Amino acid sequence: MSEAALPELAAVPWRRRETDHTLRVRARLWTLTMVAHVVPFCVVAIGLFLIEPLSAPVGLIALAQAWIIPGLYAVRGANTVKPRGPRHDAAEPVAQGLLGDLLGHDARELQRRTGLALERGELGTWLIGERGALLVAPDGRIVHCFCVSASDDELPPSDRIAHLLLALRTDEQGFATVANHAFAGAPWRVRRRLGRDARPALSAAVRVARASA
């Protein structure tokens, strides 16, 4: 007997199932949130300068706020796929072997270089990390950041990725529903906050998303 829906959905009965539409709405809400943070500071900076040019330092502080606050949200998003926790060096090669068997050749090479497993889905192109995932929307303009992980802290890093990969492959919408949505924004915002090793994975995911749009 097989099931199409993730059993983990039972733990979050209040959540609506994520779809293309709900993710587009989330992306728009995040864009509005960014605008709501940036525009007032810019208006203050310009207004102060027009009223009194000597207030330029205060205006610069306001502009800095307009730059920094969206950046902090993007950091939160990028942190979802940053490697954390014990490395379990003894078990990791075994786990890496299993994960490699689950991935295709290109995705396997990318995962070994960047620590992120690329997976094409119906909702977009996914990058799976140890404790989170990024989803690049089909046009490549928005990346959604999700916080999600296996419930066993003793797992080696590649097993953690394999857990998320298998759950994603079982029920992509269910996976996006169970995961906590942390941020949505332009790929460049997230890319510059990723670790240097992980950045090529996001670039690759954006290319794949654009090519398959």
Partner 1 sequence: MSRLIRMDHTGHSTLAEWTQGDQAAYEEAVTAFRRELDEGYIGVVSEGEGRATQVRELPADAELVIMRRPIAGG
Query: Which stretches of the chain bind partner 1, using CB under 8 A?
Result: 1-4, 6-8, 11-12, 80, 88, 91-98, 102-104, 119-121, 131-132, 146-152, 154-156, 158-159, 162-164, 166-167, 169-171, 175, 178-180
CB of 207 to partner 1, least distance (A): 18
CB of 145 to partner 1, least distance (A): 11
Q: How far apart are CA 108 and CA 163, in angstroms?
A: 15
Which residue from 213, 211, 6, 208 is spatially nearest to 104, judged by alpha carbons? 208
Q: How far apart are CA 117 and CA 128, in angstroms?
A: 5
Q: Give the Å distances, CA to CA, from 86 to 91, 107, 122, 158.
A: 11, 24, 33, 12
CB of 121 to partner 1, least distance (A): 8
Q: Which is nearer to partner 1, 44 or 162 (CB)?
A: 162
Q: How far apart are CA 24 and CA 174, in angstroms?
A: 16
Which residue from 155, 167, 149 is spatially nearest to 4, judged by alpha carbons? 167
CB of 171 to partner 1, least distance (A): 8
Q: Which is nearer to partner 1, 36 or 152 (CB)?
A: 152
Q: How far apart are CA 159 and CA 122, in angstroms?
A: 24
Q: Which is nearer to partner 1, 52 or 106 (CB)?
A: 106
CB of 69 to partner 1, least distance (A): 23
Which residue from 141, 163, 165 is spatially nearest to 153, judged by alpha carbons? 163
> Helix (H, G, I), strand (E, B), or coil: what is residue 55?
helix
Contacts for 71 with CB less than 8 Å, ≥ 6 apart? 189, 193
CB of 160 to partner 1, least distance (A): 9
Angle between helices 56-79 and 20-51 (to 10 degrees): 160
